[in-house]
A and B are shown apart, each in its own frame.
With several copies, the nearest count.
Chain A
Amino acid sequence: MAKVTLVEAVNMALAWEMANDPDVVLLGEDIGRNGGVFRATVGLQERFGPLRVQDSTLAEGAIAGMAVGMASQGLKPVAEIQFMGFLYPALDQIGNHMARMRNRTRGRLTMPIVMRMPHGGGIHAPEHHSESLETLLCHHAGLRVLCPSSPARAYGLLLAAIRDPDPVMFLEPTRLYRMAKQEVLDDGLALPLDRAFRLREGEDVTVVTWGAMTHDVMRAAEQLSLEKIGCDVIDLASLSPIDHDTVLDSVARTGRLVIVHEAARHCGVGAEVAATVAERGLHDLLAPVRRITGYDTVMPYFKLEHDYIPSVARIVDGIRETART
């Protein structure tokens, strides 16, 4: 069993599925010869040829639109958007067609598409390269939105995403691409969709997070355990739909909820988690809900990005405050 990084796990999953399903076709900017700007598709064009690993023209709208057309013919396009800040030109196709085609044709034309894209900041990248725009996708009914936080989850969820007969937005945390290696069995086994992962058990506070923040939350939980504050850490992983039951179960035990995400606070996905607990788990709450998030300002260019992204210290403090309320 190989120890791999998250980006290598993505590559493994793509290779597995391409080898086993001739309908899987990759498209995107610089994904062929260059193997993608993060190297997620490295080696795949050599192995599967330029028709199955296509260097697209520089046009995200065309990439998404062509994915719609290809999917309608039964192919399973896996498209890469180079950075999430460049998702905008693809949103018309995603919102107006991909998310709706099955519904509006009453099941006649279906959209087995995966849109992969890097998510979040913290890698000292240029402007517009560090965005967390999951809300924009999550608000669209008809899409699934995933965000893995480890190589193994990236592998298993990407397989699940490609195999799912409906469109899945697959957000890959840039900060984790090469952060840590993990043993991942290349066995072609998918993880279940629509499920959160409980990463750590604790009795005092439920902490819900996803993506790169998962690692900061786990470090915070580690520190807090020294103070005898037990964190029940949930990696949401599926941002649409959300596995609310797992969150509610946990809150029923802990009575306290902290949500941590990198995206801006206003209308962030954290609001949906908080709102659902206020509806369905209110009487379990012993303390106010707390969101620890990016601010309602523009993700700063990299000199200030760590002033924006919630730090471990800020998370520790927030959880501690909630635990003590």
Chain B
Amino acid sequence: MKNVADFIIRFGQWLDTEGKPTRALPEFAQDPGEVERMYRMMTLCRLFDAKAVNLQRTGRLGTYAPCTGHEATHVGVGAAMQPEDVLCPVYREYGTQLWRGVTLTEILVYWGGDERGTDFAGPRQDFPWCVPIASQTPIAAGVAMAFKVRGEPRCAVAYIGDGGTSEGAFYEAMNAAGAQKLPVVFVVVNNGWAISVPVAAQTAAQTLAQKAIAAGIPGVQVDGNDVIGVRAVMEEALVRARRGGGPTVVETLTYRLSDHTTADDATRYRPAGELEAAWLREPLVRTRRYLESLGAWDDAREQALRSDCAAQIDAAVQAYQATPKDSTDAMFDHLFANPPEALEEQKDTARRWAAPRGTGH
């Protein structure tokens, strides 16, 4: 039989687990200031995560989806994007969001059960967290279509998890984006698990990057714990997309170092030793080591960074806790630009029967 098509999936790593370059680094990685910026954000994410989990455990936050372990992926993606691009996240990509201007307070307000957390002061066109798995991906294709219709050199970036790749919506989005050559990048965060289901039970595909082949678009794998690598691969994909070269799938290989959410208990299902092994590949240490090798980091700066982050986080927690519960009217006021008359009556009823303020969580 005749070969009519062949495909290769490539994997890239720039920094190994010790922070040693495994190949020539891109320009941005040679600028210590730039690497430091990324490292600072990764550290902020890590420390914020611990705080948020603690808030949940002590009854001051709702169910929360931690990001520990994903910092390189999230920050690398954020750093590669332009401000005028549009992000369609899932629910744990705080690193990207913070880089783009979402605030710690907004994140807390959101997971505190309040829609106002999605009204980002910063990236006004970014989408909020998206709970229905995979549904953000066709939306990102639509955002990209708007850029194409208007001839704007902007990109949409959609996240999706390894589990999420099993949903048809993801495939439909890749396929439509490929057919219409849309400026969108799909970032598949392969963190090994979809709640309790490991990747091997989710698909027979040996890589998730190869999902792209079904849509006729490029797919590439990168070490998702290597912030330099993630940023480099993303920059390439984004540049191509902006030039009319169409979509890309970028699979970042990382690991969920936490429970799925604070409502989950991963010890029920994860094989012994896996978590410990994964900690040896986590993203912060290698970035720090690399910074140190540039002579741009030391313990004192680390201490200063940590207390700086702690202060930011404390301020955010305070702002969050000082946020009064929203008015009952809110659930009516934002539904329509021109609300139907009948809703006014329901709004009155709702006011009358609102749960006493001060309750709610």
Interface residues of A (CB under 8 A from B): 25, 29-30, 32-35, 37, 51-52, 54-59, 61-62, 64-75, 77, 85-86, 88-89, 92-93, 96-97, 102-110, 124-129, 141-142, 144, 164-166, 193-194, 241-242, 244, 265, 295-298, 300-308, 310-311, 313-314, 317
Q: Which residues from A are CB-within-8-Å of B143?
A: 69-70, 72-73
Q: Evaluate contact between B194 and A72: CB separation under 8 angstroms.
A: no
Q: Which listed residue (B112, B147, B175) contacts A57, Cβ 8 A?
A: B175
Q: Which listed residue (A52, A54, A193, A306) contacts B360, Cβ 8 A?
A: A306
* B275 in contact (CB, < 8 A): no
Q: Evaluate contact between B202 and A303: CB separation under 8 angstroms.
A: no
13 CB-based A-B contacts, threshold 8 Å: A29-B194, A30-B195, A52-B149, A55-B201, A61-B168, A62-B138, A62-B172, A72-B139, A73-B86, A102-B334, A108-B124, A300-B330, A303-B361
Q: Which residues from B are CB-within-8-Å of A308?
A: 331, 350
Cα A127 to Cα B65 with chains together (Å): 12
Q: Which listed residue (A88, A92, A166, A304) contacts B338, Cβ 8 A?
A: A166
Given contacts A35-B268, A69-B144, 9 further A-B contacts (CB under 8 A): A58-B166, A62-B169, A70-B146, A73-B146, A104-B334, A105-B128, A106-B115, A106-B119, A304-B330
Q: Which residues from A are CB-within-8-Å of B140?
A: 69
Smallest beta-carbon distance B260→chain A, Å = 9
Q: Which listed residue (A59, A110, A126) contacts B176, Cβ 8 A?
A: A59
Cα A64 to Cα B139 with chains together (Å): 8
Q: Which residues from A are CB-within-8-Å of B169?
A: 61-62, 65, 89, 92
Smallest beta-carbon distance A59→chain B, Å = 4
Smallest beta-carbon distance A159→chain B, Å = 15
Cα A88 to Cα B127 with chains together (Å): 21
* B318 in contact (CB, < 8 A): no
Q: Digit string of B146-163 for contact with A (CB within 8 Å is 1, else 0)? A: 111110000010000001
Q: Which residues from A are CB-within-8-Å of B144?
A: 69
Smallest beta-carbon distance B90→chain A, Å = 12
Q: Which of B194, B197, B261 has the most CB of A within 10 A?
A: B197
Q: Evaluate contact between A69 and B146: CB separation under 8 angstroms.
A: yes
- B contacts with A, residue count (CB < 8 A): 89
Q: Which listed residue (B113, B261, B336) contacts A301, Cβ 8 A?
A: B113
Q: Evaluate contact between A75 and B146: CB separation under 8 angstroms.
A: yes
Q: Which listed residue (A52, A65, A124) contacts B173, Cβ 8 A?
A: A65
Cα A30 to Cα B143 with chains together (Å): 22
Interface residues of B in 73-122 (CB under 8 A from A): 86, 88, 91, 110-116, 118-120
Q: Evaluate contact between B138 and A93: CB separation under 8 angstroms.
A: yes
Smallest beta-carbon distance B28→chain A, Å = 29
* B131 in contact (CB, < 8 A): yes
Q: Which listed residue (B172, B261, B359) contacts A59, Cβ 8 A?
A: B172
Q: Digit string of B309-351 for contact with A (CB within 8 Å is 1, else 0)? A: 0000000000000000110101110111110111100110110
Q: Which residue on chain A has the smallest CB distance to residue B265?
A: A34
Cα A302 to Cα B337 with chains together (Å): 23
Q: Evaluate contact between B172 and A295: CB separation under 8 angstroms.
A: no
Q: Evaluate contact between B114 and A303: CB separation under 8 angstroms.
A: yes
Cα A142 to Cα B331 with chains together (Å): 11
Assuming the A-B contacts A51-B149, A65-B137, A296-B342, are A57 and B179 also in contact, with contact meaning beta carbons closer than 8 angstroms in the complex?
A: yes
Q: Which residues from B are CB-within-8-Å of A56?
A: 176
* B196 in contact (CB, < 8 A): yes
Cα A97 to Cα B132 with chains together (Å): 9
Q: Evaluate contact between A34 and B269: CB separation under 8 angstroms.
A: yes
Cα A4 to Cα B251 with chains together (Å): 45
Q: Which residues from A are CB-within-8-Å of B278?
A: none
Q: Evaluate contact between A105 and B195: CB separation under 8 angstroms.
A: no
Q: Evaluate contact between A296 and B141: CB separation under 8 angstroms.
A: no
Q: Which residues from B are CB-within-8-Å of A317?
A: 353
Smallest beta-carbon distance A35→chain B, Å = 7
Assuming the A-B contacts A29-B197, A295-B346, are A108 and B149 also in contact, with contact meaning beta carbons closer than 8 angstroms in the complex?
A: no
* B263 in contact (CB, < 8 A): yes
Q: Which residue on chain A has the smallest CB distance to residue B154?
A: A73
Cα A88 to Cα B134 with chains together (Å): 13
Q: Evaluate contact between B330 and A59: CB separation under 8 angstroms.
A: no
Q: Which residues from B are CB-within-8-Å of A303?
A: 112-114, 325-326, 360-361
* B203 in contact (CB, < 8 A): yes
Q: Which residues from A are CB-within-8-Å of B119?
A: 105-108
